[in-house]
């Protein structure tokens, strides 16, 4: 799990995926035939195989914040990047790219918008010096990587866990069944943006997006039936896509043959890269495989290691012969 | 009329249009020179391939519905909506769940005499309702699964004054217009290669039309859909039309002015009843998605007024449907000079 | 020219008048001028050197406004807004309707008759346009259902030295593009005047699909809230603070390298420049940067107070600043200065 730790601890708010991309670029060396970074910053990794094009995607970016105003007392005012929850930020720490830690607190009681919060960087020195934060700088939630039994907690499991699964899948394949494209996308949290242009560049026949999904098996939950540790989830629908029956079948049949437990995911709202991919060009038969995750978009996203391993096994079998 | 009723009986919620798609493909094949289904399930029919200009007539194939979200230990089925649904219309509704087999069920909710006073004054919430199939959980789990789609049971009826009441007139009415136009244009000499697109997944965001238009890339598109009709429940400030007032031709910033004017001229010339429908922003139809495809596709939107949209008792007037067909065929016969 | 542009009629979907004005100017300035099927005006000015990148500059021609949706028996017009207008600015304003430029006013209750409801904001449903018609038949002699309407507002220069008018969002951008087109640059430059920005950035994506530029810069008017009753953290931009370069907004994250080159073009030439310091709003960049396989896109704006009202206010200095930044940027040698 060292790789997952490295990936989740890396700095990569939407639009600033460079660090994550560098880690992945290093990891794939020797396992692929072609790599390319496109205009928006998506990393497209190709492994030659015969026949139809299958695109697997996971997004590199995570939610975060962006400094908009630094006032004359050096307090930082900010906006959110992606679907950040106010409660998850309040009274917590954020980390800038250079490691600077900021403390978030409220300007007014019961904050309801991000302008009700500010960041205090005690040692900030505007313009020069040790801590140098400027307007437009971004930060992510500061958090430890915790492993405990079958469970892993960290920031940015959404969607570094997807990146991890793609990497492990790529490494395990000996003989591809398809012309494989492993795509590490940008700006998913801002509206599935990277996946859209990446898919336009590839024009795949099939696509599978790998991401986290809401796991609601917690006190006060229960609306969605997913349970942590009961297997990766084959997406049926969310707010952005209704998955293609062929891809659902492919995933389900492979799982059955390999005796991998799976669950089915149905979300009313929210979206993943699959949403952007399936309406690209003349249309792409698209599905998604999700890792049930508790506390998404907080500093302590929690998932099951066995679900993650099963997802790797399942995807590898879908993609080709494996080690 | 029979055609429309048959189409309304067919079942196909957004994302699950394969059966209705196949049936419609079969009908298209009777009248078109060439028919295909694409990756996402759109059905495309062509008349007059290779003619100088290409016009696309489009309507969506899908209907709103529900989806199985959870089966509880007693066998009650919890569900979510696909497309917009008014929860008030659900209690007591009859449904089919499309699993390994088609299972009948009724939608239930907490009985009124067990509700608190506060609960009883509010509409039921969708997450508080359930489907009762009469099977135990064990028996049911062999037949259906999470993710199965659900349609309403509603036999089409003929009301007074040429009006039909059924589920999914939105937008099988549009598909019936496509078929009617095919019949009429099949042997007519026109300038156009006419492409008929029956698209999927409109109710969840115009997804089929987007990729269909990308593939077809016509010079113009005419979208056929439904719009709101006047009822006692609509307000005087709403943009609504009485049933029987003819085709509603949309005008507004996202619709092509010249093409629309051309269609209005046809209606005037041929004395086809019509009304002007003002769409100030997103028309909420496939026209919105089609217009911005590739280098831009000039779009017009023609609708039939429909009462009680997105319920099991959608009601349309056949005279309006005829007016929609008349004006589309008329415009194409006259050559769309714009 | 800015006066002519500001006062021209060009609600989203009815940009013809604005397009004609711009087209007439551009025909003599550019090498190729085309109108596409949606109404975008695409003008190419060839570069002096063959090897350079294709740069697309865009400004949108459309403005927020109204569309007539019905007539009451008494002859008042019902309307809907086209684009985002706060209904609270509508009370007691004048509008111009349709091809005949019929004048109308949006009336409201005299304070004497208001009663207790006066704290409640009006919604568009409660407002009517009065053109002086006797009844519905009379009204329909002058206007038709579906006619567009815009604010009636005269362009004025005032204060030190500011301008006021309707539709400064984004006729200011159009004006700057027109001025830039008078010069010839090393690169091929497409000056693109887009339609339907205010109802969802619909024209820009389509135009980008045709032009397929290497990079795109959107020239806009953006919110400026450096006014009383506002915290500095919410200012967004400051009037007289120079051209505002966007970092992140609801529709796009500007390409960092391109954004930096623009900023440097300002600083190294002593031109006033600022960042837009909120993430609200969106513009054509949203559609442009996601076209096909993606386009490097940045946004530079003129700060504009009271945007989307009949009285938008902007500073001549800021307009000049945006022009100068872009002019310096376009003069630059692409290959040397840019990392992409």
Low-confidence ranges of chain B (pLDDT < 70): none
pLDDT at C258 over 50: yes
The answer on pLDDT for C206 being more than 60 is yes
Least confident segment among A111-125, B289-303, C27-41: A111-125
Neighbours of C335 (CB within 10 A): 12
Kindly list the residues of chain A whose beta carbon comes within 8 Å of any beta carbon in chain B.
Answer: 223-225, 236-237, 242-245, 248, 264, 266, 268, 278-285
One domain, residues B106 and B246: no
Q: Which pLDDT belongs to residue C339? A: 46
ipTM associated with this complex = 0.89
Ordered by start, the domain boundaries in chain A are 2-62+155-322, 64-141
Query: Binning pLDDT at 50, 70 and 90, where does residue C272 land?
Result: very high
Which is more confidently placed, A225 or C13? C13
Task: Write phi, then psi, for C279 (nearest 5 degrees).
Answer: -110, 15
3-state SS, chain A, equals CHHHHHHHHCCCECCCCHHHHHHHHHHCCCCCCEEEECCCCCEEEEECCCCCEEEEEEECCECEEEEEEECCCCCEEEEEECCCCHHHHCCCEEEECCCCEEEEEECCCCCCCHHHEEEECCCCCCCCCCCCCCCCCEEEECCCCEEECCEEEECCHHHHHHHHHHHHHHHHEEEECCEEEEEEECCHHHCCHHHHHHHHHHCCCEEEEEEEEECCCCCCCCCCCCCCCCCCEEEEECCCCECCHHHHHHHHHHHHHCCCCCEEEECCCCCCHHHHHHCCCCCCEEEEEEEEEECCCCCCEEEEHHHHHHHHHHHHHHHEEEC
Per CATH, the homologous superfamily of domain A2-62+155-322 is Zn peptidases (3.40.630.10)
For chain A, what is the mean pLDDT? 94
Contact list in B for residue A279 (CB cut-off 8 A) is 207, 210-211
- Answer yes or no: is pLDDT of C337 > 70: no
* Contact state of A285 with B39 under an 8 Å Cβ cutoff: yes
Contacts of C202 in chain B (CB under 8 A): 254, 291-292
pLDDT tier, C51 (very low <50, low <70, confident <90, very high otherwise): low
Select from B170, B139, B136, B175 the least CA-distant residue to B152: B170
| Chain B residues within an 8 Å CB radius of C205 | 292
Residues 6+ apart with CB under 8 A from B285: B202, B206, B223, B225, B301, B303
State the virtual CA torsion across B12, B15, B17, B19 in degrees, nearest 10: -90
Q: Which residues of A261-271 are buried (b: 16+ CB within 10 A; e: fewer)?
A: ebbbbbbbeeb
Residues B184 and B296 in one domain: yes
Distance CA B202, CA B200 (A): 6
C92 touching A (Cβ < 8 Å)? no
pLDDT at A126: 57
CA–chain centroid gap for B112, Å, is 34
Beta bridge partners of A288: A209
Q: What kind of architecture, by CATH, is found in domain A64-141? A: Beta Barrel (2.40)
Domain membership flag for residue B159: no
The count of structural domains within chain B is 2
Residue that is last in its domain, among B125, B152, B179: B152
Q: Decide which of B118, B152, B186 is a domain's last residue.
A: B152
Instruction: Name the residue among B16, B69, B204 with its Cβ closest to that of A266.
Output: B69
Picking from C56, C230, C233, C267 by the largest number of A CB atoms within 10 A of its own CB, the best residue to mutate is C233
- Residue C249: per-residue pLDDT: 94
pLDDT score at C336:
46
- CATH number of the structural domain spanning residue B25: 3.40.630.10
Answer yes or no: do B185 and B109 share one domain.
Answer: no
Q: How far is A243 from chain B (nearest CA, A)?
A: 7
Whether residues B187 and B206 share a domain: the answer is yes
Q: Are B130 and B107 in contact (CB under 8 A)?
A: yes
Q: Using the beta-carbon criterion (under 8 Å), do B254 and C202 form an inter-chain contact?
A: yes
Dihedral sign (CA C157, C163, C166, C170) = positive
SS3 C254: coil
Phi, psi of C10 (to 5 degrees): -160, 55
Q: C335 pLDDT exceeds 60?
A: no
Does A128 score more than 80 pLDDT? no
CB contact under 8 A, A266 and B145: no
DSSP code, position C121? P
What average pLDDT does range A293-308 have in this prediction? Answer: 97
Evaluate whether residue B101 is within a structural domain: yes
Cβ–Cβ contact B69 with A under 8 A: yes
Strand pairing report for C273-275 and C243-245:
parallel
The kind and range of the H/E element at B199 are strand B192-199
Please identify which residue in the block is written with the tokens 């979208």: B223
Burial class (CB in 10 A: 0-12, 13-18, 19+), B106: middle
CB contact under 8 A, B38 and A282: yes
> Which chains does chain B touch, 3 or more C-beta pairs < 8 A?
A, C
Cβ-Cβ contacts under 8 Å for C160 (sequence gap 6 or more): none
pLDDT, position B48: 94
**Mean pLDDT, chain C, integer:** 93
Residues B309 and B248 in one domain: yes
In a domain, B157, yes or no: no
pLDDT at C110 over 70: yes
- B286 and B230 assigned to the same domain: yes
The domain in which residue B145 lies consists of 65-152
Does residue B300 share a domain with residue B217?
Answer: yes
Q: What is the pLDDT of residues B229-276, one digit of tens each?
A: 999 988 877 889 999 999 999 999 999 999 999 999 999 999 999 999
- Are residues B122 and B185 located together in one domain of the fold? no
Q: Which residues contact B297 (CB under 8 A, 6 or more apart)?
A: B56, B213, B217, B218, B219, B220, B221, B290, B291, C37
Same domain, yes or no: B76 and B57: no
Model-level pTM? 0.93
Q: Is A188 a catalytic residue?
A: yes
Q: Which residue is catalytic, options B11, B81, B193, B202? A: B202
Measured between beta carbons, which residues in chain C are less than 8 angstroms from residue A39? 293-296
Read off the CATH number of the domain in which B86 is found.
2.40.30.40
Tell me if residue C305 falls in helix, strand or coil. strand
Residue C192 has pLDDT above 60, yes or no: yes
pLDDT at A124: 67
Taken in order of first residue, the domains within chain C and their CATH numbers are 2-63+166-339 (3.40.630.10), 65-151 (2.40.30.40)
Are B193 and B317 members of one domain?
Answer: yes
CA A147 to chain centroid, in Å, comes to 19
Asked if residue B198 and residue B289 are part of one domain, the reply reads yes
A266 with B207: Cβ contact below 8 A: no
- For residue A302, pLDDT over 80 is answered with yes
pLDDT at position C116 is 64
pLDDT band at C334 (very low <50, low <70, confident <90, very high): low
Chain B residues close to A223, C-beta within 8 Å? 69, 127
Tell me if residue C249 falls in helix, strand or coil: coil
Spatial separation of the C-alpha atoms in residues A235 and A210, rounded to whole Å:
10
The whole-number average pLDDT for the span C89-105 is: 94
What are the CA-CA distances from residue C262 to residues B300, C253, C300, C332 (Å)? 41, 15, 9, 11
Q: Beta-carbon neighbour count of residue B139 at 10 Å?
A: 11
A81–C289: do the CB atoms touch at under 8 Å?
no
């Amino acid at each position: 799990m060292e790789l997952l730790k490295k990936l989740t601890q890396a700095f990569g708010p939407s639009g600033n995926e460079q660090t994550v991309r560098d880690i992945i670029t290093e990891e794939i060396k020797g396992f692929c035939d072609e790599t390319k970074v496109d205009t928006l910053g998506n990393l497209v990794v190709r492994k030659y195989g015969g026949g139809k094009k299958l695109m697997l995607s996971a997004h590199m970016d995570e939610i975060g914040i962006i400094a908009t105003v630094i006032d004359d007392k050096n307090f930082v005012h900010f906006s959110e990047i992606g679907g950040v929850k106010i409660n998850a930020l309040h009274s917590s720490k954020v980390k800038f790219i250079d490691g600077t830690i900021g403390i978030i607190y409220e300007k007014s009681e019961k904050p309801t918008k991000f302008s009700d919060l500010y960041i205090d960087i005690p040692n900030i020195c505007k313009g020069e010096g040790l801590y140098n934060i400027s307007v437009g700088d971004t930060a992510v939630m500061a958090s430890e990587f915790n492993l405990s039994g079958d469970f892993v907690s960290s920031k940015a499991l959404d969607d570094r866990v997807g990146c991890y699964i793609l990497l492990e899948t790529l490494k395990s394949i000996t003989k591809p069944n398809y012309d494989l494209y492993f795509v590490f996308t940008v700006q998913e949290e801002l509206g599935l943006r990277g996946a859209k242009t990446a898919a336009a560049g590839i024009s795949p026949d099939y696509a599978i997006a790998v991401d986290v999904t809401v796991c609601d098996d917690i006190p006060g939950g229960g609306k969605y039936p997913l349970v942590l540790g009961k297997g990766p989830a084959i997406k049926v629908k969310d707010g952005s896509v209704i998955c293609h029956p062929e891809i659902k079948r492919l995933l389900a049949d492979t799982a059955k043959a390999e005796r991998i437990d799976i669950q089915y995911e149905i979300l009313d709202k929210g979206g993943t890269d699959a949403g952007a991919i399936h309406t690209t060009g003349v249309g792409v038969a698209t599905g998604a495989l999700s890792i049930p995750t508790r506390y998404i978009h907080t500093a302590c996203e929690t998932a099951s290691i066995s679900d993650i391993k099963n997802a790797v096994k399942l995807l590898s079998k879908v993609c080709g012969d494996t080690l | 009329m029979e055609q429309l009723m048959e189409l309304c009986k067919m079942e196909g919620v957004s994302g699950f249009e394969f059966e209705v798609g196949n049936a419609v493909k079969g009908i298209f094949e009777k009248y078109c020179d060439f028919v295909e289904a694409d990756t996402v399930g759109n059905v495309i029919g062509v008349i007059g391939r290779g003619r100088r200009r290409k016009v696309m007539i489009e309507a969506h194939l899908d209907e709103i519905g529900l989806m199985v979200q959870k089966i509880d230990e007693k066998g009650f089925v919890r569900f979510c909506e696909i497309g917009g649904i008014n929860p008030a219309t659900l209690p007591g509704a009859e449904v089919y769940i499309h699993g390994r087999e088609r299972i009948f069920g009724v939608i239930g909710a907490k009985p009124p005499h067990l509700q608190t006073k506060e609960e009883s004054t509010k509409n039921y919430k969708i997450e508080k309702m359930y489907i009762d199939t009469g099977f135990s959980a064990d028996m049911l789990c062999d037949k259906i699964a999470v993710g199965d789609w659900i349609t309403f049971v509603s036999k089409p009826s003929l009301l007074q004054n040429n009006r039909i009441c059924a589920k999914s007139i939105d937008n099988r009415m549009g598909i019936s217009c496509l078929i009617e136009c095919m019949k009429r244009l099949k042997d007519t000499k026109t300038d156009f290669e006419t492409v008929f697109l029956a698209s999927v997944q409109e109710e969840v965001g115009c997804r089929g039309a987007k990729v269909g238009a990308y593939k077809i890339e016509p010079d113009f598109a005419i979208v056929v859909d439904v719009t709101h009709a006047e009822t006692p429940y609509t307000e005087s400030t709403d943009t609504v039309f009485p049933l029987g007032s003819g085709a509603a031709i949309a005008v507004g910033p996202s619709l092509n002015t010249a093409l629309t004017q051309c269609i209005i001229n046809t209606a005037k010339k041929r004395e086809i009843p019509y009304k002007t429908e003002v769409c100030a922003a997103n028309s909420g139809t496939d026209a919105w998605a089609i217009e911005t495809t590739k280098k831009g596709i000039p779009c017009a939107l023609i609708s039939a007024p429909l009462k009680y949209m997105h319920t099991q008792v959608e009601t349309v007037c056949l005279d309006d449907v005829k007016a929609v067909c008349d004006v589309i065929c008329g415009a194409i016969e006259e050559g769309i000079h714009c | 020219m800015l006066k002519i542009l500001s006062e021209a009629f060009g609600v989203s979907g009815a940009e013809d008048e604005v397009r004609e004005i711009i087209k007439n100017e551009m025909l003599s300035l550019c090498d190729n001028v085309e109108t596409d099927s949606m109404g975008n005006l695409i003008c190419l000015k060839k570069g002096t050197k063959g090897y350079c990148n294709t740069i697309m500059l865009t400004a949108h021609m459309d403005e927020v406004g109204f569309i007539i949706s019905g007539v009451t028996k008494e002859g008042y017009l019902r309307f809907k807004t086209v684009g985002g207008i706060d209904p609270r600015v509508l009370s007691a304003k004048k509008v111009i309707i349709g091809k005949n430029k019929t004048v109308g006013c949006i009336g409201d209750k005299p304070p004497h008759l208001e009663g207790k409801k006066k704290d409640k904001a009006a919604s568009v449903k409660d407002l009517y346009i009065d053109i002086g018609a006797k009844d519905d038949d009379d009204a329909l002699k002058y206007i038709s259902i579906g006619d567009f309407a815009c604010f009636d507002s005269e362009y004025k220069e005032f204060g030190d030295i500011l301008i006021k008018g309707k539709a400064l969002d984004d006729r200011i951008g159009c004006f700057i593009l027109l001025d830039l087109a008078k010069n010839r640059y090393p690169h091929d430059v497409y000056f693109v005047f887009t339609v339907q920005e205010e109802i969802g950035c619909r024209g820009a994506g389509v135009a980008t699909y045709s032009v397929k530029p290497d990079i795109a810069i959107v020239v806009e008017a953006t919110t400026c809230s450096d006014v009383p009753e506002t915290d500095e953290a919410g200012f967004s931009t400051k009037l007289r603070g120079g051209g505002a370069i966007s970092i992140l907004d609801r529709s796009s994250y500007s390409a960092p390298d391109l954004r930096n080159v623009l900023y440097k073009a300002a600083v190294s030439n002593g031109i006033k420049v600022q960042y837009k310091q909120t993430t609200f709003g969106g513009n054509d960049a949203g559609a442009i940067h996601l076209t096909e396989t993606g386009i490097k896109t940045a946004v530079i704006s003129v700060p504009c107070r009271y945007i989307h009202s009949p009285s938008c206010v902007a500073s001549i200095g800021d307009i000049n600043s945006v022009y100068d930044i872009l002019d310096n940027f376009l003069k630059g040698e692409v290959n040397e200065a840019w990392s992409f």
